[in-house]
Structure 1
Amino acid sequence: MGTKPTKIAVLLTGILASSASISMSTFAAEAESATIDETITVIGRSENSPMNIAANVNVIDAAAIEMSGATSLTEVLRGQSGIQISDSNSGAVFSMRGFSASQAANNTLILVDGRRLNNIDIAAPSINAIPLHQIERVELLSGSAGVLYGDQAVGGVINIITKTPNATGGTLQLSGGSFNTYEAKADVAGAINDTWRYYAAASYNQGDNYREHNANETSSILGRLQYQGDNDDFFVETSYYDNDRELAGSLTLDQIEDDPRQANPFNKDDYQHEMTTAIRSGYHYQISDAWKLGLDANYTDTKVTSVSWGSPGKNNRSMLEVLPKAVATYETAKGDLNIVTGIDLSRGESEFSWGRSNVQKVASAYAQATVPLTTSVSYVVGGRYAEVSDELVDGAVYPQGVDLDQDAHAFELGLNYRPNSNHRLYIRADDNFRFAKVDEQAYTPKDVVGLKPQTGRSYEAGWDWAPEQHSVRISAYQLDLEDEIVFDPNAETPPGGSFPGANVNADASSRLGASIDWDWQLASQILLGIEYNYIDAEFTEGVNKGNKLSWVAEHSGRGFFSIDANENWQVFTELVYTGERFIEGDNGNVAPKLDAYYLTNIAINYTNNDWLASLRVDNLFDEQYVSAGYYSSWGAHGYYPGTGRALRLSASYRF
């Protein structure tokens, strides 16, 4: 596949020229002093403050993670920023802005320090491969980010920022709890000399988990070497993740009512063993007061062996990314003019044991400029053009192979009004797109050779207000999609297909939503917060016009309360609500809705100098609920029970 230089050149030139022409008169002016926000984010592929970005951004820092007593990212993210979770007892999938469970992994982009966790196939990214003790903060961008990140940044972006070796010391942590769970974590950082530093981390976890035949053994190790000069910086990092887990299979509602912990007898030999090696490296150079150049490269190699419903399988997949970019900041009398532009190149390969393989190459160019109009008003404009090629082989559908070439583009326009350091309003429109995965392209109805790229546009408006003791975020949005890539159980089965249905480009759909998030520091020792999210997600065309999208709860929310009893003791309580919804795949809305449910979590934390101990109880009242479910036109729906009450006691020491 070759890129089209004319289209890319026109895109970049047009965006940068329009921004520069509007702001040319400000370059010669002296910069005024500006208020620096305490929280810095890299959403936007450059450092900035959430209040300066025309988007709905929430940052969960290390202090908030520690306060919650959570032991996994799934616990941290549940209910945050409208995230709805599906878990088939083998790993959670995170949905933002109203996507079904099977599509959430393809429409929510998950990054670790800018490296994509999303896979070339439809397998969900292993988000718990990053232990909590390695995380500095988690950045959540709700809504489309097609210009900045391209493919799959449809409902939102979860960017996990890990610790860097800026200090000397480390942490040791041991924990244990329900279902024979035991875990050990450690990390250490230090200086080699004035410019070189190191960081290393390791973790090990084993447990039986809630259900029978669902035990896991998980380990990870990471090493990082970092150089920081006066005008440049460099790092190289390598990591290994190993997760071996038994799969308990789905149940009927009657089986869940009888015993939610039982395993499906037809899945007594099922398991999945995933081993991932990742290498990251980056070099950044400040070539002038305004411009900084960077080049990042990432490579991951994953080997998966499994048995699913009695059938063994293997999947080897790899991903190489090369990401050059240039970032500029011009100080002006009206504020900072920020420019970020770059090229994203990737080559992914996936090979299955049953005769299916694919090599997917993506090349795209993007540019975005944030331009000050006054000292309190700025606008953002940007665009991206992307091309993808697939070299697809499938023993049943494409035994001789087929080559697919497609392209997509995205544009963005936003306005940010910030009258002071703790108050802002914004409006924003952003395009989004995603390309079909190898599994999806290889299982389509007869005479459908290649699914169209999914495209859409998001409109959003929001208000943030953060006085001394409060923080309020309100937003409303509309997300319209065309040619959404979904699996339809009623579609024509491909020639040689082993199960009914096929992947299709669905009818148009729309998601209307609103959210409110309020945190209140009631007193120096008391913090409380409330979040509510509303989504009206339905088909707007075709035979299902007016029907609700499956697995999308119209109402969801979260509330928490934290109190510091004294300088040593803290109590944290959390209530997460998920409303009723149709089972996954029930596009005709014919099956009864799944019941709404509440999950109550509590943590008691004790700190004494460098020691920290925490007791966390998830699902305190042992609520019985369905964490994932799949519709069948034959009536044999499959359900996965959510985890019952679980206790975890942790102790850590910082040195």
Structure 2
Amino acid sequence: MLLSVRYDKFEDDSNGTAFDDNNVTYRLGAIYKVTPSISLYGQWADSYEPQGVGSQAQQAGGPFEPTTGEIIEGGVNAELFDETTLLRMAVYQIKRQNLLQNTGLDPEGDGIDNLAPVGEVTSDGIEIEVISDITPNWIMSVAYSYNDARITADNGGTTIRNSVGDKFANAPENQLGFWTRYQVPEWDLAFAFGGNYVDEQLSLSGQTVKSYFVADASITWEVENYSVLFRIDNLFDREYAESGFLSRTGHFPGNPRNGFVEFTYKW
């Protein structure tokens, strides 16, 4: 059984006057080993996070109360097939209060859209991950997550764009990712390829943000203490929107194809 208590002290002078806000957060967890290769776990934790300095500005409708929340999670970790495969499964519920949302309104006429807190957002989800050594030189991982995020409480009257029961903006239900790496010891090379699929989302204005798939690839050369990594993100130069904002401003575009080289020396 694990128990931890964290004490935090926050100071915020974004409004010109400093104040102290003391808060204690808690975390409780337990792990039970069913067999040498299978273990069950569970945890509960709460959270406390002051709003960002920019969000506290009066021009944006601030100051706002901190974001708070809690998580309940349970799962299983299992080493299978002579410990060549690791399986992780988890179910969770996360509740967060006072997440800020852009209202699209500018009642002060200062050119800055006001923010408003969402009373509560509840996320119910499942995560599954499999990591396997297919051969001594070939590794593959696959991860899937399902997340149903909805507004479950109002904020007492301040106008926001979504109502209780609506899906939370920019929270895809389904995501799937994979990554595979193959080593060629004779050449001191490793080739990797992977990708991520993200389900469709809803923007702040209720518009549909289309689903997308983005692939990445890399080549690594490593000998003694030196290594060189060449990586390309968005390998097929897919045009896509990562998330949605307001109808008058459109969506946030994802990064186009780009690459980088990384040199590493270990001593």
Report the TM range for the smaller structure's normalisation. 0.7 to 0.9
Following superposition of structure 1 onto structure 2, how do residues 408-419 of structure 1 map, counting pairs within 5 Å?
A: 408-419=23-34
What is the match of residue 158 of structure 2? none
Q: Which residue among 29, 39, 55 is the counterpart of 1:424?
A: 39
Q: Is the 8 A contact 1:474 1:514 kept in 2?
A: yes
Distance 1:547 1:523, change over 3 A: same
Q: Is the 8 A contact 2:241 2:251 kept in 1?
A: yes
Distance 2:127 2:57 in 1: 38
| 1:564 lines up with 2:179 in the alignment | no
| 1:382 lines up with 2:17 in the alignment | no
Distance 1:480 1:618 in 2: 33
Following superposition of structure 1 onto structure 2, how do residues 387-398 of structure 1 map, counting pairs within 5 Å?
A: 387-393=9-15
What is the match of residue 205 of structure 1? none
Q: Is the 8 A contact 2:177 2:196 kept in 1?
A: yes
Distance 2:192 2:2 in 1: 39
Deviations 1:498-542 (A, max 9, x none): 3232x3332211011110110111111211110011111110123
Distance 1:630 1:566 in 2: 47
In structure 1, what residue type is equivalent to 2:141?
A: G
Per-residue deviation at 1:385? Answer: 4.4
Distance 1:382 1:607 in 2: 41
Three-state SS of the structure 1 residue aligned to 2:54 is: helix
Deviations 1:372-421 (A, max 9, x none): xxxxxxx122334445443444xxxxxxx555554433222221112455
Deviations 1:88-114 (A, max 9, x none): xxxxxxxxxxxxxxxxxxxxxxxxxxx
What is the match of residue 537 of structure 1? 149
Distance 1:646 1:386 in 2: 40
Distance 1:404 1:653 in 2: 46
What is the match of residue 166 of structure 2? 547
Three-state SS of the structure 2 residue aligned to 1:383 is: strand
Q: Is the 8 A contact 1:451 1:485 kept in 2?
A: no
Three-state SS of the structure 2 residue aligned to 1:545 is: coil
What is the match of residue 100 of structure 2? 486
Per-residue deviation at 1:637? Answer: 1.8
Q: Which residue among 194, 197, 200 is the counterpart of 1:577?
A: 197
Q: Which residue among 54, 67, 70 is the counterpart of 1:457?
A: 70
Q: Count matched residues.
A: 257
Distance 1:445 1:602 in 2: 41
Distance 1:522 1:441, change over 3 A: same
Distance 2:88 2:50 in 1: 32
Q: Is the 8 A contact 1:489 1:500 kept in 2?
A: yes
Q: Which residue among 211, 231, 235 is the counterpart of 1:620?
A: 235
In structure 2, what residue type is equivalent to 1:573?
A: F
Per-residue deviation at 1:620? Answer: 2.0
Aligned Cα root-mean-square deviation (Å): 2.8
Distance 1:601 1:436, change over 3 A: closer
Distance 1:609 1:529 in 2: 27
Deviations 1:15-70 (A, max 9, x none): xxxxxxxxxxxxxxxxxxxxxxxxxxxxxxxxxxxxxxxxxxxxxxxxxxxxxxxx
TM-score by length of 1: 0.36
In structure 1, what residue type is equivalent to 2:65?
A: K
Distance 1:640 1:646 in 2: 17
Distance 1:403 1:566 in 2: 59
Distance 1:423 1:414 in 2: 17
Gaps of 5+ in 2: 155-161
Higher relative contact order (CA 8 A, sep 6+): 1
Q: Is the 8 A contact 2:69 2:94 kept in 1?
A: yes
4+ aligned runs moved over 6 Å, structure 1: none
Deviations 1:241-284 (A, max 9, x none): xxxxxxxxxxxxxxxxxxxxxxxxxxxxxxxxxxxxxxxxxxxx
Q: Is the 8 A contact 1:443 1:497 kept in 2?
A: no
More displaced stretch, 413-422 vs 426-435: 413-422
Three-state SS of the structure 1 residue aligned to 2:186 is: coil
Q: Work out which of the two has the higher radius of gyration on C-alpha atoms and give 1 or 2.
A: 1
More helix by share: 1
Q: Is the 8 A contact 2:201 2:243 kept in 1?
A: no
Q: Is the 8 A contact 2:59 2:112 kept in 1?
A: no
In structure 2, what residue type is equivalent to 1:594?
A: V
In structure 2, what residue type is equivalent to 1:624?
A: E
What is the match of residue 644 of structure 1? 256
What is the match of residue 516 of structure 1? 128
Distance 1:384 1:610 in 2: 40
Q: Is the 8 A contact 2:76 2:90 kept in 1?
A: yes
